Amino acid sequence: MPSKKWVLRKLYFRQCSVYRFGILEVLMHFIVRVRGDNRLVRVSYKNYKISAIVYRTGFGLFRTLVFQDRDNNLDGISERTAVNSARHTFSQLDATLRPLNGSHDSIGTKITWVYVVGNGVELDHESSSIDLYIYERVQLRSMSNVISVIVPLLFASPILVLHIQSSIEVVIKRELYPGPNNRSGNTQQAYPPIEYTASFYLDTREHRAMQGICGEKDSTSLSNSLIRRNGLLSGTAITRIGRTKTWTGDCSDSEELYRTAEKVKDNLSQIKKTGRS
């Protein structure tokens, strides 16, 4: 006859397996982001930049989350609940950076950011452009500071945001599922998404030096490329632009990006004319 301890262990794993699966998905993706794909990183990452932004596009005026990893890959999503879920990551980043502000000591790694919450009110299109805000800058003093910043910054990846959102949805559905284990005292209350604008750029001294001497055909980071940023369209699925697509030296890609930029300008001018009429 099985012991009481064995029965309790069996019940625990049966009840919690569905939660553990979601948590493991998040941890596995996060670890891959840190250590690299399929193998441990054997060289030190010194020349990199990680970017995460939430801004309103000029086409449908929807908000989009765009993330650039240290390998220069772009991930983007404009699904409204995913963008709203990512706000907690940016809020944590902003709270982490506030005590570090004002320091002049540095190990060469710097983060530039802006984080503005609309308090539930739709921000004006003109004032919500991420290029019109005054950015704050912090020189990180130690590797401890870098780790404190880079961990929540990596959680701004759209893939991780969707994994976390999926795990939360599983928990909510199990709480609301009718049955003997249902907790009728728990009430789930929806609330409207809070509009916000965020822009966080973490880069190293070596990366800034390389960007300062790069030519016209060299790749550019997310913060310096409005064309690549506005090339991510609306939708519920994650859009990915790999690093092989970010080199402006490819004539076909360059012409396509140029046409995209012209479309962006034309649409913005039409929106402004419509707003004034």
Q: Lowest-pLDDT range, 31-35, 37-41, 116-120, 134-138?
A: 37-41
Q: What CA–CA distance (Å, rounded) separates 111 from 33?
A: 19
Residue 233's pLDDT band, with cuts at 50, 70 and 90, is very low
Please compute Rg for the chain using Cα positions.
22
- Which one, of 192, 261, 232, lies nearest residue 78 by Cα? 232
Please give the structure tokens belonging to residue 87: 């706000």
Q: Lowest-pLDDT range, 18-27, 238-247, 268-277?
A: 238-247
Please give the structure tokens belonging to residue 12: 């625990």
Angle at 50 between CA 207 and CA 166, to 5 degrees: 165
Q: Lowest-pLDDT range, 70-79, 95-104, 264-273?
A: 264-273
What's the whole-number mean pLDDT along residues 180-187?
55
- Which one, of 94, 88, 60, lies nearest residue 230 by Cα? 60
Q: What CA–CA distance (Å, rounded) separates 222 from 10?
A: 49
Q: Map tokens 């919500």 to a residue.
A: 128
Contact 107, 142 (CB under 8 A): yes
Q: Map tokens 């609301």 to a residue.
A: 176
What's the whole-number mean pLDDT along residues 98-106?
69
- For the chain, what is the largest distance between any 2 Cα atoms, rounded to a whole number of angstroms? 81
**pLDDT cut 90: percent of the chain above it:** 0
What's the whole-number mean pLDDT along residues 151-156?
87
What's the whole-number mean pLDDT along residues 219-227?
56
Q: How does the average pLDDT of the chain come out, rounded?
A: 68
What's the whole-number mean pLDDT along residues 245-270?
49
Non-local (6+) Cβ contacts of 202 within 8 A are 49, 50, 51, 109, 110, 111, 149, 150, 153
Q: Lowest-pLDDT range, 53-67, 166-180, 224-238?
A: 224-238
Question: Which alpha helices (DSSP H) does the chain contain, by range?
Answer: 4-35, 80-85, 87-97, 143-154, 158-176, 205-213, 226-230, 251-276
What residues are paired with 51 via a beta bridge?
A: 68, 201
Comparing 265 with 27, which gets the higher pLDDT?
A: 27
**Helix, strand or coil, per DSSP, at residue 234:** coil
**Helix, strand or coil, per DSSP, at residue 48:** coil
Q: Map tokens 């699925």 to a residue.
A: 237
Contact 100, 141 (CB under 8 A): yes
Comparing 256 with 19, which gets the higher pLDDT?
A: 19
Q: What CA–CA distance (Å, rounded) separates 203 from 183?
A: 47
